[in-house]
Structure 1
Amino acid sequence: MELRNGTRRQLVLRSGRRSCKRSAGMKRDAGKVLKSLQVQSSDSGDASIEEPRFTLGLSRNPSVVLAPRYNLLREVGRGSYGTVYEAVARKSGARVAVKKLRCDAPEKVELALAEFWALASLEKKHENIVHLEECVLERNGMAQKMSHGNKSSKQYLRLVETSLKGERIPGYHEEPCYLWFVMEFCEGGDLNQYILSRRPNPRTNRSFMKQLTCAVAFLHKNNIVHRDLKPDNILISQKFGTPIVKVADFGLSKVCAGYGCAERGSEALIEKNVNINNFWLSSACGSDFYMAPEVWEGHYTAKADIFALGIIIWAMLERITFIDGESKRELLGTYIRQGSEIIPVGEALLENPKMVLDIPQKPRSLMSNVIRRLLYDMLAVNPDDRLDAFQLEHRMDQVTCAT
């Protein structure tokens, strides 16, 4: 088997293994605005509500004057996940990213709620995780700020029920709901754009390796498995001059909440230091070229994130790319060449667990032996032999200092 640089090679990404399909975003004029409005009634009929309400676009009541919250400037991204806009917060003038997801089918609701639950579950901010400012639930032009576990909102409860049951709620045929995620704006684009538009920079590579490792370790410490780590989902912020990595897009993430709860008599004991690597997942989802061998089988742990990160780092260091046949974009990603075919590393290792990866791939590579050994330990075919996020964090400190 042979590894080759796939730059400029035409390739259609296979997404059949991705169990959660992203919903296509609906078009919206950039001139529209998100506006706020206090109302006196809620879904339950209660006259008092805890959360402020919002309305999208122009008010249907001409006698009501609305204060704009965000001005949508332009569309910056569109795909099966939805539509992302660059926007400006009216009060502060700060630039933000606004992502709109249509919730008109169970699989789309599941993706939207997974992202909300993952970001909302983080009690602390992390420099390398995209920050969620707020999430707004919209239907029929009116919208409500989302709060986790909001039992007073029938719309939120309907979304949760739809996600849990995996089917539409009988008798619920109203206009589709939308979830609007307001997040920090990353002006540096994604990792593909940032790396491939610049000359190779060893210092930037080392910084990104360490930042990405810190981000994944933070997620795993908070019992979150990302499950879709790839360059498209890694954004770059340049607000303060130095590029800062931001892991984003948590639509396929899994919050392993409740794991570690044990019954003893009538008391429920909650372990504070839960080993997320003991929590087994079964939904074979992700993006083919970054999926670990065990994900293809549908029986894996958080260590699948480490495999995906290994593929990303390897591709970033040696600039191994391919062309996505659908978007025509050049993407960072490592793969195996078998005859006339190129297939994901994880799939190849699943078919041949004894296969030895050629790391580094390029004959004149400047990759050090310490990084080479690190990549082997991140891409081990057996998850038991693979580093976990906390071991990787320790090793990465040593590697970045040594190089």
Structure 2
Amino acid sequence: MFPFNKKEVMDLRNRKKRKVSGGVRSSRRSAAARMKREAVKILRSLSVENNHVEVMDEEDNEDCFSSISFLRSDPSGPSPRYSLLREVGRGSYGVVYEAVARKTGARVAVKRLQCDAPENVELALAEFWALTSLENRHQNVVQLEECVLQRNGLAQKMSHGNKRSKQYLRLVETSLKGERILGYPEEPCYLWFVMEFCEGGDLNQYILSRRPDPQTNKSFMCQLTCAIAFLHKNNIVHRDLKPDNILISQKSGSPVLKVADFGLSKVCAGLNAKNGEEQLVAGAGTRGSNQNRVGNINKFWLSSACGSDFFMAPEVWEGHYTAKADIFALGIIIWAMIERITFIDAESKRELLGTYVRRGTEIVPVGEALLENPKMVLHIPQKARSSMSEGVKELLLDMLAVNPQDRPDALQLEMRMDQVTCVA
């Protein structure tokens, strides 16, 4: 995934369309985001020994790293707080490990992002701001336990709302200036995210490894709409909703969805409703102010064209959109989940859930096809033997409306989804 501007987005519409076995092209938001606020409070230090990660209590300090080495070779040192068990995911921007908290035995996910390239810093900061702006937990949103900034073997914990850390502000400067500010290749800088672990994999793996189950579909539809309603109430636009970014927890005995990967998200609490993203103060969101903006998120216009193309709304391709783009992406996910519409990713060779428009042997993302032909009629359900109810069909058509104003907002969607799943 890489940044691209509006002109590049429009040029993509003229490229050769994908074949059914074609891959997915993803994009990141532009590196020109306005970043000014947020900072870090130094609370703890972190050390690692081979496969161990440790966070220990430390007195508050104004602006310095802990003197404890991040890479510890002294066996007489303190017992590590986390033990890394195995690698569970890897991308161009980071690695995710399964780990265990040695004190409680609880499993956690530890994501390590290398903060050398500005686009990686931007992804990391976006995820940090989104998850730390939430005052309350939600069962369908992945929980961030802590975030640690590590450089040159030394570390400090990042926390919400403190502006005294020069190291953190240098990360912001790296993203703003689009060049390396913090450290050198021989002094790598990392952000470590400790998050809840989801042992059920992602939505692709869960759905496609099991037989169709209408009750599971209903439950997942309600959980997804509940999660998006919660995020929009808290002024967060996800901007990269797709099955890969929806994880499954089975700790309670029944599957619980967790919306994850907030690297492209936007916290809109600092937006000016007239000028949208141009007035955004990065990492916005003063904690405690969220509830004053419930219902206003759809008034904020965003301009960074980003996401994964099979799930991007028509207006996102043009680079002028609101939180209603999340509703469109959710409609694509639910449609693909119910009818098990898939394609093969050319790069990973994985079968992935995703709805598209077929043109002979080629496939085109629904949003792109609607942008090219706004009068195109979507055939929902797509399969003749689909068990989709009329209520669900009508709701999906509304979620996938070309005009964002014709789509329900997240709160309306949550109420309608409860209604259609009760009678479905």
TM-score by length of 1: 0.87
Is 1:34 the counterpart of 2:48? The answer is: no
Post-superposition Cα deviations, 1:105-140, rounded to whole Å, max 9, x if no partner, equal 111100000000000000000000000010111111
RMSD value over aligned CA atoms? 2.5
1:97 pairs with 2:106:
no
Q: Percent identity?
A: 74
What is the 5 A alignment of 1:4-403? 9-15=20-26, 17-19=27-29, 31-37=50-56, 44=63, 55-59=69-73, 62=74, 65-169=77-181, 175-259=187-271, 271-403=292-424
Q: Which amino acid in structure 2 is aligned with residue 198 of structure 1? A: R
CA offsets 1:3-36 (integer angstroms, 9 cap, x no match): xxxxx94212223x44469xxxxxxx99511123
Distance 1:110 1:272 in 2: 25
1:150 & 1:204 partners in 2: Cα distance?
Answer: 43
Query: 1:177 Cα shift?
Result: 1.1
Tell me the distance in 1 between the aligned counterparts of 2:60 and 2:160.
Answer: 20
How far off its partner does 1:149 sit? 3.6
Looking at structure 2, the residues matched to 346 and 91 of structure 1 have their Cα atoms a distance apart, in angstroms, of 48
Which runs of 5 or more residues in structure 1 are unaligned? Answer: 1-7, 22-28, 263-269
Distance in 1 of aligned mates of 2:298 and 2:401:
15
Alpha carbons 2:182, 2:189 under 8 Å: kept = no
Q: Is the 8 A contact 1:106 1:168 kept in 2?
A: yes
2: CA distance, partners of 1:97 / 1:144: 19
- Aligned residue identity for 2:70: L
1:272, CA displacement in angstroms? 4.2
Given that residues 114 and 189 in structure 2 are in contact (C-alpha distance below 8 angstroms), is that contact kept between their aligned partners in structure 1?
yes
In 1, distance between residues paired with 2:28 and 2:101?
35
| Closer/same/farther in 2, CA of residues 55 and 375 from structure 1, 3 Å limit | farther
SS in 2 for 1:11: coil
Count how many residue pairs are aligned between Structure 1 and Structure 2: 374
Q: 2:84 and 2:182 mapped to 1: Cα distance? A: 35
Q: Which amino acid aligns with 2:297?
A: I
2:221 partner amino acid: M
Partner SS, residue 307 of structure 2: coil
Q: Secondary structure at the match of 2:253?
A: coil
Letter in 2 for 1:348: A
Determine helix, strand or coil for the equivalent of 2:392. Answer: helix
Question: Which TM-score applies when normalising by structure 2?
Answer: 0.83
Residue 67 of structure 1 aligns to a residue whose secondary structure is coil
Note if contact 1:35-1:55 (Cα within 8 Å) is conserved in structure 2.
no
1:115 maps to a residue whose letter is E
The answer to which of 298-307 and 72-81 deviates more is 72-81
Bigger Cα displacement from structure 2, 299-308 vs 359-368? 359-368
Distance 2:400 2:60 in 1: 54
1:131-173: CA deviations, max 9, x gaps? Answer: 0010111111111111124333221111122223333339977
Instruction: Provide the rounded CA distance (Å) in 2 between the counterparts of 1:335 and 1:127.
Output: 30
Output the amino acid matched with 1:12.
G
- Tell me, what secondary structure is at the counterpart of 1:97? strand
Change in Cα spacing, 1:171 to 1:251, as seen in structure 2 (3 Å) is closer
SS at match of 1:337: strand
Q: Which amino acid aligns with 1:343?
A: V
Query: Structure 2 stretches of 5 or more lacking a match?
Result: 1-18, 32-47, 275-288
* Counterpart-to-counterpart distance in 1, 2:261 and 2:202: 11
